[in-house]
Structure 1
């Protein structure tokens, strides 16, 4: 079991285990190579193309809404321009091919058929209303190969959880920039998070000011006790909103799924860079 697992909720424990399967799309060199082979260069172009492709050739508006934490200016630089460089279907093909190419050597010798079946069972049970990215991915055809099904299921479940996280933040009255400033007040990764999401210093400081007015941030940028309590509530709501797939799968099958995912996650996590903006790293769990 990875560190900290026993203290996590069922939903958070499973997220920390299936999220790395999806994350190879962004961090494995094979992911970038697949998009370059399809004619799309540049990390952020392929990020926006791959993640937005299930929505079709949309403009910036739906992506600003669904991706939430990205600065609108960063999104509008990518969309709709990327669709002049690659089609949504080509982007879907590239992200699948890149994920498979990354996972095959990482999971060499690890049986994946059973865990793919279990994770697929959970993914097919996601609730779709209000889950824009989760539903868009769930609407895609299921692949046949076990490794592809494992990745596809992980993708549906992580976007489903992310949709719920956005709902929790909106309910708490938190906007995209504030959500990042708030989180960085807890884990101190502004130097990587701010540029990764495209916010200017002026936007960042304005968001910090709004959080200070609510009593959630101290003058030094750290979270206050009140801010920690509010943050814990957002995370608890996120967990509750992510619960349906695991309730449908059942406690025994969910535990079996987690057990089978543990060695898979352990092999993938070292691939992820330190202070990655998910954030997820081997030495513990981060909030999402």
Structure 2
């Protein structure tokens, strides 16, 4: 399900409409909009809670944006801008989709989002507490966002339980399937930090001497992903998952046209998503 609803959320980072909406709100530059947009449900927080909850970003990168962004656009203005930008994008991308199918997908996804477990899920809970939009496209995006942040919170918990830091999981993913040149600049880690982390993963037995994943690392990461899935499973008991899958498949395909082939998010290509 993540591979189907994540593209709905991810348009916020790659389509021109959200960037323009953030800029109009006073958030010039991509990263101001990114950090303000994701953090806005938490209120006017400083860098520390965002470093903790976003997890994989270098603290210095977060601190360049927060709390400065709230002097440029208050959380309320930021929330309005992110929803307007996302809704405008979806209106363009889904213009050829049957309106009834989009509305049904929005309703089912919103039902799932209404059943997220807030305990221990800071970003998921903060998004779930926002008003549910009446407009179907806005409701679709908000539900997708709540579910992806809920899943992300559970993923962070699984990574922490496995004894890894945010920096280590980023370097690991680079060794597995996301090119370093795509993910390192997007997470703000220096070359020195990156190289030290590579050595640390080798010491743990996750990478070999050439920086390639070992069977030990692959097995441990597979368990992290399984734990993530278990933590995210609850909301799907409230909906007809197969019906939602059918409805979301063309929606996700349309949203993917706004995304680059490779993203720091790690979204697999459709032929490898199952």
Q: 1:286 Cα deviation (Å)?
A: 7.0
Instruction: Note if contact 2:5-2:144 (Cα within 8 Å) is conserved in structure 1.
Output: yes
Q: Secondary structure at the match of 2:26?
A: coil
Counterparts in 2 of 1:188 and 1:120: CA distance versus 1, 3 Å = closer
Runs of at least 4 residues of structure 1 off by over 3 A?
A: 281-287
Instruction: Note if contact 1:39-1:85 (Cα within 8 Å) is conserved in structure 2.
Output: yes
Q: Secondary structure at the match of 1:41?
A: coil
Quote the residue 1:198 is aligned against.
188
Quote the residue 1:74 is aligned against.
61
1:136 aligns with 2:126: yes
Instruction: Note if contact 2:58-2:167 (Cα within 8 Å) is conserved in structure 1.
Output: yes
Quote the residue 1:270 is aligned against.
257
Quote the residue 1:207 is aligned against.
197
Correspondence for 1:27 among 14, 19, 41: 14
Correspondence for 2:165 among 169, 172, 175: 175
Q: Secondary structure at the match of 2:267?
A: coil
- What is the alpha-carbon distance in structure 2 between the residues aligned to residue 62 and residue 281 of structure 1? 29
Tell which deviates more after alignment, 268-277 or 163-172. Answer: 268-277
Quote the residue 2:148 is aligned against.
158
* CA deviation profile, 1:92-122 (whole Å, cap 9, x unmatched): 0000000011010110132211111100110
- What is the alpha-carbon distance in structure 2 between the residues aligned to residue 162 and residue 280 of structure 1? 13
Instruction: Note if contact 2:178-2:262 (Cα within 8 Å) is conserved in structure 1.
Output: no
Instruction: Note if contact 1:266-1:282 (Cα within 8 Å) is conserved in structure 2.
Output: no
- What is the alpha-carbon distance in structure 2 between the residues aligned to residue 104 and residue 177 of structure 1? 36
Instruction: Note if contact 2:174-2:180 (Cα within 8 Å) is conserved in structure 1.
Output: yes
* CA deviation profile, 1:237-285 (whole Å, cap 9, x unmatched): 0111110001232xxx111001100000111112111221112254445
Q: 1:136 Cα deviation (Å)?
A: 0.3
Tell which deviates more after alignment, 135-144 or 102-111. Answer: 102-111
Q: 1:188 Cα deviation (Å)?
A: 4.7
TM-score normalised by structure 2 residue count: 0.96
- What is the alpha-carbon distance in structure 2 between the residues aligned to residue 282 and residue 264 of structure 1? 15
Correspondence for 2:106 among 80, 105, 116: 116
- What is the alpha-carbon distance in structure 2 between the residues aligned to residue 285 and residue 130 of structure 1? 31
- What is the alpha-carbon distance in structure 1 between the residues aligned to residue 271 and residue 210 of structure 2? 25
- What is the alpha-carbon distance in structure 1 between the residues aligned to residue 178 and residue 74 of structure 2? 38
Q: Secondary structure at the match of 2:257?
A: helix
Q: Tell me the matched-pair count.
A: 271
- What is the alpha-carbon distance in structure 1 between the residues aligned to residue 265 and residue 32 of structure 2? 18
Instruction: Note if contact 1:269-1:282 (Cα within 8 Å) is conserved in structure 2.
Output: no
Where does the alignment leave 5 or more consecutive residues of structure 1 unmatched? 1-13
Where does the alignment leave 5 or more consecutive residues of structure 2 unmatched? none
* CA deviation profile, 1:126-177 (whole Å, cap 9, x unmatched): 0000000000000111111111100000000000000000000000000010
